[in-house]
Amino acid sequence: MIGKEQGLRGFIQRKLESLNVSKDQILWYHCIIHQESLCSKIIKFDHVMDNVVKAVNFIRSRALNHRQFRNFLDEINAEFSGIPYFTEIRWLSCGRTLKRFYDIREHVAAFLEAKGNSCISFDDDKWMNDFSFLVDITHKLNELNVRLQGKEKLIHNLFGEMTAFQKKLDLWITQIADSNYAHFPCLQEQPHISVINREFFVSELKRMQEEFARRFKDFRACEDQLKIFSMPFDVDPADPR
């Protein structure tokens, strides 16, 4: 789509040449939504995801287990009737799977125990803390991803969303360092959060913060130019930029 020769970029460049307009006046950027998705992958938590995926696959990949699990949820009048697959290719899949898994974790634990499967130990405080943190942060990343989508959004709208999220990261880092989990409801439910847990979460948020800053530094460099869209009356017409 954005190929220099055959894609949209090539088409625009040829059109500019026909109008005697320098192609250097056009700024090219990678897809913002894709960049956001890549930033979200900086947090791995493989020790959490591996166990969750094993449990989900155990339930979903076998028709008998899946049917029995759905019947089990129906019998206990659970709020949800199942659990979605995790698909890494689909950017929102991870967050949805984790949130649903967290919401029915007690039912999952009972079902796995009845089946003699011990792939997850919900009694492990450290694992549960990591799991809860991952649920919360992926939920926030999903919300950001959804806000970046939709029609009639210009680059300054998307850049504003990214800037706001980076400011939130600053706030969350400070709050978690002070044992304030107000913006992390799942983590806040956990009874035992150690200093080591807090330091680990802070370090992960800082890594994400650095990744956002690295991937969106090109946008930051032209922040003043974007003001013509967001705050046109604050722009000086005589400013050569």
Counting every residue written for the chain, the total comes to 241
On the question of pLDDT at 205 being above 90, the answer is: yes
CA distance 49 to 102: 12
State pLDDT tens for residues 111-148: 778 887 777 777 889 999 999 999 999 999 989 988 88
- Please give the backbone phi and psi of residue 190, each rounded to the nearest 5 degrees, phi first: -80, 135
Residue 238, pLDDT score: 61
All residues at 6 or more sequence positions from 74 whose CB lies less than 8 Å from its CB, including other chains: 81
Q: Percent of the chain having pLDDT more than 70?
A: 72
Q: Read off the tokens for 193.
A: 């959060």
Q: Determine the average pLDDT of the residues in 14-34.
A: 73
Locus of tokens 């998705």 = 37
